[in-house]
Amino acid sequence: MPNLQRLTYKSTTLKKLKIELPISIFIFCTMTCTSRITKDDTRLLFGDASHWFYVEERCSYICNGPICSRCATKTDTNVQSSRRFKHGCIGEAYPEKTHLFGSPWYLAKIKTYGEPSKESVEKAMQAQRKAQGSLALPILKKAVKAVKAEKAVKAEKTEKTEKAEKAEKAEKKEIHVDKKVKKTKTNIIVEKEKEVPVKISLLNMTPKISESSDDPLPVRNVSVLSFKPFHLQEICYWKDNNGKVYECRDNKLGKCLGEWNEELQEIQNLEECV
């Protein structure tokens, strides 16, 4: 087998040290840390413009394993921007306490704090795609679909509620228009009915018969009275063609109460009715 010439990588630092390394060793050493990190200066606001969420980034340090020495030590710190915070690694499921875009915490807080602006979501998604690369989580896609489906259901319910309220208001308007009532100046409702022929028995008007030797009087200026039902404040009366109002007792004519004044909409007393 022929001897292969050894490939070497020469950097400025290695030139100074006069060291030559095989290219295979250099490739192994250039592996990027897979730890998730975030920064305070890249965080974004929710819809209420007062609560923050964080943007996912990937550690840029080169290491000889999946995690560099700076990200290897994790603690229970609550500082999201600290390298010691447990955000997990690229390609893994998001921990419960992380406030990164797309995490379970973020999806839950959308309901409380409101959905971020389109610009903020676009920035967060670009940073996420850059950090995850080919290791993008299918879990996030499912979660986003679930949130969209929930919003669609809420929008449908709201639309149905608005339609029902509009239909109810329209029905109330129709009922209000059908009930047309005439009101007088004194807020007395008067219902006028057509004049109908009725049998009337006179009460308190029985003629007295007595013998007389005088000659009978000639009949002159005979006037015929007609009566019709008359309602005032839900009470039924009789009114003749001269405007006089009488009591109505069991559909029978009672005593005279006075004369109806159309302008004042009231019954005025008459001397002859007292």
pLDDT tops 70 at residue 138: no
Residue 36 has pLDDT above 90, yes or no: yes
Domain ranges of the chain: 8-152, 190-205+225-273
Distance (Å, whole) CA 129 – CA 90: 11
Model confidence band, residue 246 (pLDDT cutoffs 50, 70, 90): confident
CB atoms within 10 A of CB 45: 15
Is the model's pLDDT at 12 over the cut of 50?
Answer: no
Q: Give the gyration radius of the chain's Cα atoms.
A: 49
Whether the predicted model's global pTM rises above the 0.95 cut: no
Q: Measured between alpha carbons, how far is 176 from 179 in angstroms, rounded to an integer?
A: 5
Residue 3 pLDDT exceeds 70: no
pLDDT at position 76: 92
Q: Which residues, 6+ apart, have CB-to-CB distance to 88 below 8 Å?
A: 36, 94, 95, 98
Nearest C-alpha neighbor of 67 from the set 37, 96, 39: 37
**pLDDT at res. 213:** 58
> What pLDDT was estimated at residue 13?
45
- Which pLDDT does position 34 carry in this prediction? 92
H or E element, residue 260: strand 252-261
Q: Which residues are CB-contacts of 224 (< 8 A; sequence separation ≥ 6)? A: none
Mean pLDDT of the 59-76 span: 90
pLDDT at 192 over 60: no
- 40 three-state secondary structure: helix
Q: Between residues 177 and 232, which one has the greater pLDDT?
A: 232
Round to whole Å and give the CA distance between 180 and 191: 12
C-alpha 77/C-alpha 177 separation (Å) is 69
pLDDT tens track for 74-126: 999 999 999 999 999 998 999 999 999 999 999 999 999 999 999 999 999 99
Distance, in Å, from the CA atom of 221 to the CA atom of 248, rounded to the nearest integer, reads: 28
Residue 210 has pLDDT above 80, yes or no: no
